[in-house]
């Protein structure tokens, strides 16, 4: 067993002396410890860090207190609970004995009388708890301790406390509450209304195993077990062991009914039936143990393994086409810890046409999950900025884009090297992200042809996310306003033959046609809605209905991480739209030393010269710039226009900021404004030809550097409003002035890879390459004489000398950031180089799970219009 973490040992040293680890489970690690205050042995359960991170200490402690007052001879009491240096723990008596699991591992079966006695003692404990409003939710052999032969239920109420403290977000941890073999059908189908009858089912499953040597349902994988729990009758225990009395067999039959209403009304009644030789049921083992029309999946052949308390415990067998009148099955797929799916701007999820397989891009790799398997397969590495995967129509290839390019890359569905998609896929394709055009590559053609362009008036900010509909002549796409925000977007259907456009939905994005005869689309608040759409007439009818909520939707650019198969299966990524980030401060070792303010979506950070504040573009329905105090976390809005204002940059004296205002695609304006909000903004430059953003002020406060697409540096004299333009080969990130104003740093892709360059200012002479193996987001520190930048996900630093000449040491790594975090939006560095600030992914925004909904037609039939 692993030793206790030194931080934990130190944090508990005044109360407990941890001696050794006793075991580890799905939620916690158990340690034997000495209670120093009471001179007794105790067992300390410490929740796993990833679970503790989701719960939070305050809520967990409040919830667990509701279980501490329970006192019953067959319930192991709770001595203590709390938080210690980030660890959440609870303390129980250390009891010599063994669990039922350990007993069954040794003996396989229990004597009939002994098994019934143990079950009745547990039923008595359950009855006591249920009458006090507490449901265990995780009754299993591992949680029943035998002390001198007497049953004691452990972790009573812990599952409830964890679930309540998580606020419904248990799936974010990748952990599960509940064990497949002992789950009730309502737990297996993620029913939120779990009652005491669920505990009765679980206890009956434990008794069944004590009597027969195996649980009621067995399988080689979790999905097989849960499928049987939902769909198959339980084999009578008396067929496996003739010594089981009729009343015990009958009590088991009733307690293992599929429908909660058909079970015992209380745990006490179950215990009494086990003890009464006269107890019998008229239905025996054949009533609702066999699913009929009132069962969980009437009208649909059940091939699904469903989840427990929101966390995936098994995958689904390959689904048959759903019956529109059947019930709806839902499954949650947790992603492995540390996986970052996509960048939150471009879509990263795909589903095969038959609905049997998922594919997604995460951590610069392509992954596949077949619905009839329990594992995720890593197919291979993808180039940087890969996005937008789709399956080929024959299911043999997964196509994806690199950046905003067309679907130019492909990987075999079973894994392998990335190849040119044109060599292996010959089918009619359309593609477009959030740019100015949508392209089509007809079958047999290797060239992409523009089929839709933005309005020449410039009032459209972009178009994208197309889908060619089954008639071969209609394209569904998203049309954006100049700010590229979802609130100003709409889903449009275009007849390629007549040019007729039909607006399907306003304030909507990423429309996808479903074979149910609906168009599904995403809204800014993360909902998926569906509206009936007559493809022949290209007309919308009726009111939309909400089919899912909490979907990850890009606030800018309108991508939504969901996919619909031709078989009627919907898959979507859970995530936040407006709270993607948590502002944090790191030390030079990469340790988080500050968590600042509330979660939000922060981009384009600029640090004030005194190091006390940052200004940032804060994505929201208003899309404005705000100031954040790095000590208090206080956020103050600076701009209030209905258009988007972004890319703020502090002036050297810290009294003003420069920023961009996007009035229209061909009307971008650069303003200067006082940071205290006084006075009116001053127009510094208006651009009608190219994309421009502020990058840095010169130290004298008179020159503002703008980056202009595709690769130019524009220098604005803020006093005389004069503009100088300098060509910077393949520049990506414009230029930033050194603290003495004599050198300029920028990023160029002229060698095919982003690298950091420095040259004198003005004139850009004496150019030197600072990075060696790639670099982005260069940042000078004002006083430490250092230049920081990112190489991939590694933060690098080089010591620099500026003045009449420039010199630098070879860059050295400081620390590695989690994949796809700091490298998305960059960072800022304090003047002394000791503190690094960036907008880290917030727990609510990182894609922790994929939700799958089978039988979309059933959802649409059951949902009322909004």
What one-character-per-residue DSSP string does 2-34 give? PPPPHHHHHHTTTTEEEEEEEEE-SSEEEEEEE
User: How much is the pLDDT for 190?
Assistant: 64
pLDDT of residue 336 exceeding 70, the answer is no
List Cβ neighbours of 853 (8 Å cut-off, separation of 6 or more). 328, 329, 330, 547, 548, 569, 570, 571, 572, 859
> Which whole number is the average pLDDT over 95-107?
90
User: CA–CA separation, 100 vs 114, rounded Å?
Assistant: 12
Phi then psi for 414, rounded to 5 degrees? -100, 10
- Out of 51-55, 579-583, 773-777, 858-862, least confident range: 51-55
Q: Extract long-range pairs of 29-32: CB within 8 Å, 24+ residues apart.
A: 29/2, 31/4, 32/94
- First vs last C-alpha separation in the chain: 54
User: CA–CA separation, 354 vs 369, rounded Å?
Assistant: 14
* Structure tokens that stand for 678 in this block: 């006084």
User: CA–CA separation, 535 vs 513, rounded Å?
Assistant: 9
Phi then psi for 842, rounded to 5 degrees? -80, 150
Nearest partner of 32 among 3, 63, 64, judged by Cα: 3
Q: Are 19 and 32 contacting, i.e. CB atoms less than 8 angstroms apart?
A: yes
Q: Are 401 and 387 contacting, i.e. CB atoms less than 8 angstroms apart?
A: yes
User: CA–CA separation, 452 vs 446, rounded Å?
Assistant: 19
User: How much is the pLDDT for 568?
Assistant: 84
Sheet strand arrangement including 667-674: 644-650, 656-664, 667-674, 682-687
User: How much is the pLDDT for 223?
Assistant: 64
pLDDT of residue 380 exceeding 80, the answer is yes
- The residues that bridge with 826 in the sheet, in sequence order, are none
User: CA–CA separation, 66 vs 319, rounded Å?
Assistant: 42
Q: With cut-offs at 50, 70 and 90, classify the pLDDT of residue 296.
A: very low
- Out of 104-118, 300-314, 742-756, least confident range: 300-314
Q: With cut-offs at 50, 70 and 90, classify the pLDDT of residue 231.
A: confident
Taking only the tens place, the pLDDT of each residue in 682-721 is 999 888 877 889 999 999 998 999 988 777 888 888 877 6
pLDDT of residue 335 exceeding 80, the answer is no
List Cβ neighbours of 214 (8 Å cut-off, separation of 6 or more). none
Q: Are 299 and 326 contacting, i.e. CB atoms less than 8 angstroms apart?
A: yes
User: How much is the pLDDT for 332?
Assistant: 74
> Which whole number is the average pLDDT over 426-439?
88
> Which whole number is the average pLDDT over 555-564?
88
Taking only the tens place, the pLDDT of each residue in 627-675 is 999 999 999 999 988 788 899 999 999 999 999 998 876 788 999 999 9
Sheet strand arrangement including 419-420: 386-391, 397-402, 409-412, 419-420
Q: With cut-offs at 50, 70 and 90, classify the pLDDT of residue 138.
A: confident
Residue burial 343-365, b: 16+ Cβ < 10 Å; e: rest: bbbbbbbbbbbbbbbbbbbbbbe
Phi then psi for 471, rounded to 5 degrees? -75, -10
Q: Are 440 and 427 contacting, i.e. CB atoms less than 8 angstroms apart?
A: no
Nearest partner of 76 among 94, 53, 101, 54, judged by Cα: 94
Kindly state the percentage of the chain with pLDDT values over 90. 47
pTM passes above 0.75: no
Sheet strand arrangement including 365-370: 349-351, 357-362, 365-370, 377-381
Higher pLDDT, 295 or 818: 818
Cβ-based neighbour number of residue 655 at 10 Å: 14
Q: How high is the mean pLDDT of the chain?
A: 83
Phi then psi for 460, rounded to 5 degrees? -90, 135
Q: Which residues participate in catalysis according to the annotation? A: 138
Q: Are 250 and 277 contacting, i.e. CB atoms less than 8 angstroms apart?
A: no
pLDDT of residue 287 exceeding 60, the answer is no
State how far the alpha carbon of 630 is from the alpha carbons of 267, 300, 391, 861, in Å: 55, 56, 45, 50
Please give the DSSP secondary-structure letter assigned to residue 690: S
User: CA–CA separation, 633 vs 597, rounded Å?
Assistant: 4
User: CA–CA separation, 407 vs 398, rounded Å?
Assistant: 10
* Structure tokens that stand for 267 in this block: 């745990």
- The residues that bridge with 539 in the sheet, in sequence order, are 534
User: CA–CA separation, 130 vs 119, rounded Å?
Assistant: 16
List Cβ neighbours of 352 (8 Å cut-off, separation of 6 or more). 358, 359, 391, 395, 565
User: How much is the pLDDT for 117?
Assistant: 96
List Cβ neighbours of 829 (8 Å cut-off, separation of 6 or more). 607, 779, 780, 781, 786, 788, 835, 836, 837
Q: Are 816 and 555 contacting, i.e. CB atoms less than 8 angstroms apart?
A: no
């Amino acid at each position: 067993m692993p030793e206790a973490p030194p931080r934990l040992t130190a944090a508990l040293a005044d109360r407990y002396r941890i001696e050794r680890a006793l075991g580890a489970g799905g939620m916690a690690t158990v340690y034997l410890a000495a209670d120093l205050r009471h001179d007794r042995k105790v067992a300390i359960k410490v929740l796993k860090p990833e679970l503790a991170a989701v719960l939070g200490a305050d809520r967990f402690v409040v919830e667990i207190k509701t279980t501490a007052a329970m006192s019953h001879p067959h319930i192991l009491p709770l001595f203590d609970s709390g938080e210690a240096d980030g660890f959440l723990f609870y303390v129980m008596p250390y009891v010599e004995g063994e669990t039922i699991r350990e007993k069954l591992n040794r003996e396989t079966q229990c004597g009939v009388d002994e098994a019934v006695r143990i079950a009745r003692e547990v039923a008595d404990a359950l009855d006591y708890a249920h009458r006090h409003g507490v449901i265990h939710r995780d009754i299993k052999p591992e949680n029943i301790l035998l002390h001198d032969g007497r049953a004691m239920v452990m972790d009573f109420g812990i599952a409830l406390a964890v679930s309540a403290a998580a606020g419904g977000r248990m799936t974010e941890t990748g952990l599960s509450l509940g064990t497949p073999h002992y789950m009730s059908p309502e737990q297996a189908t993620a029913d939120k209304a779990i009652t005491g009858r669920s505990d009765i089912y679980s206890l009956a499953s434990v008794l069944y195993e004590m009597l027969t040597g195996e649980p009621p349902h067995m399988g080689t994988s979790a999905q097989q077990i849960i499928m049987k729990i939902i769909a198959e009758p339980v084999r009578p225990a008396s067929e496996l062991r003739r010594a089981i009395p009729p009343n015990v067999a009958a009590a088991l039959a009733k307690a293992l009914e599929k429908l909660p209403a058909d079970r015992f009304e209380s745990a006490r009644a179950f215990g009494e039936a086990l003890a009464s030789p006269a107890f019998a049921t008229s239905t025996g083992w054949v009533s609702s143990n066999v699913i009929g029309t009132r069962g969980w999946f009437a009208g649909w052949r059940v091939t699904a393994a469903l989840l427990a308390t929101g966390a995936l415990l098994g995958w689904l067998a390959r689904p048959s086409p759903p019956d529109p009148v059947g019930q709806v099955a839902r499954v949650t797929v947790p992603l492995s810890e540390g996986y970052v799916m996509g960048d939150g701007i471009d879509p990263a999820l795909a589903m095969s046409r038959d609905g049997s397989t998922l594919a997604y891009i995460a951590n610069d790799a392509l992954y596949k999950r077949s619905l009839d398997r329990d594992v995720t397969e890593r197919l291979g590495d993808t180039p940087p900025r890969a996005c937008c995967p789709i399956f080929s129509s024959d299911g043999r290839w997964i196509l994806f884009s690199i950046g905003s390019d067309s679907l130019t890359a492909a990987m075999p569905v079973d894994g392998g090297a990335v190849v040119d998609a044109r060599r292996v896929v010959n089918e009619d394709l359309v593609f477009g992200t959030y740019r100015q055009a949508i392209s089509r590559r007809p079958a047999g053609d290797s060239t992409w042809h523009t089929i839709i362009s933005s309005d020449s008036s410039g009032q459209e900010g972009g178009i994208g996310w197309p889908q060619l509909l089954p008639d071969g002549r209609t394209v569904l796409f998203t049309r954006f306003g100049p700010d590229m925000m979802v609130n100003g977007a709409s889903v449009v259907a275009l007849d390629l033959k007549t040019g007729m456009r039909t607006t399907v939905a306003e304030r909507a994005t990423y429309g996808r046609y479903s074979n149910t005869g609906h168009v599904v689309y995403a809204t800014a608040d993360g909902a998926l809605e569906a509206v009936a759409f007559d493809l022949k007439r290209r007309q919308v009818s009726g009111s939309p209905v909400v089919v899912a909520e909490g979907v990850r939707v890009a606030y800018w650019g309108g991508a939504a991480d969901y996919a619909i198969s031709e078989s009627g299966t919907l898959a979507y990524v859970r995530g936040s739209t407006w709270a993607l980030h948590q502002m944090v401060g790191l030390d030079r070792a990469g340790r988080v030393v500050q968590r600042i303010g509330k979660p939000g979506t922060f981009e384009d950070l600029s640090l004030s010269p005194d190091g006390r504040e940052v200004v940032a573009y804060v994505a929201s329905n208003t899309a404005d710039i705000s100031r954040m105090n790095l000590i208090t976390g206080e956020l103050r809005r600076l701009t209030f226009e209905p258009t988007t204002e972004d890319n703020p940059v502090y002036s050297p004296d810290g009294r003003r900021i420069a920023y961009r205002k996007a009035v229209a695609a061909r009307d971008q304006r650069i303003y200067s404004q006082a940071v205290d909000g006084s006075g009116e903004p001053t127009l510094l430059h208006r651009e009608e030809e190219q994309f421009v953003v502020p990058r840095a002020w010169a130290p004298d406060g008179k020159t503002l550097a703008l980056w202009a697409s595709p690769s130019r540096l524009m220098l604005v004299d803020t006093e005389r409003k004069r503009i100088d333009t300098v060509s910077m080969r393949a520049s990506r990130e414009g230029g930033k002035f050194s603290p003495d104003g004599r050198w300029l740093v920028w990023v160029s892709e002229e060698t095919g890879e982003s690298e950091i360059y420095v040259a004198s200012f003005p004139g850009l002479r004496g150019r030197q390459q600072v990075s060696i193996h790639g670099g982005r987001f260069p940042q000078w520190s004002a006083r430490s004489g250092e230049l920081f930048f990112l190489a991939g996900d590694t933060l690098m630093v080089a010591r620099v000398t500026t003045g009449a000449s420039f010199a630098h040491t070879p860059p050295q790594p400081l620390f590695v950031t989690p994949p796809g975090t700091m490298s998305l939006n960059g960072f800022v560095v304090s003047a002394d180089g000791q503190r690094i600030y960036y907008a880290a992914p917030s727990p609510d925004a990182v894609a922790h799970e994929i939700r799958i909904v089978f039988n979309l037609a059933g959802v649409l039939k059951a949902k009322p219009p909004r």
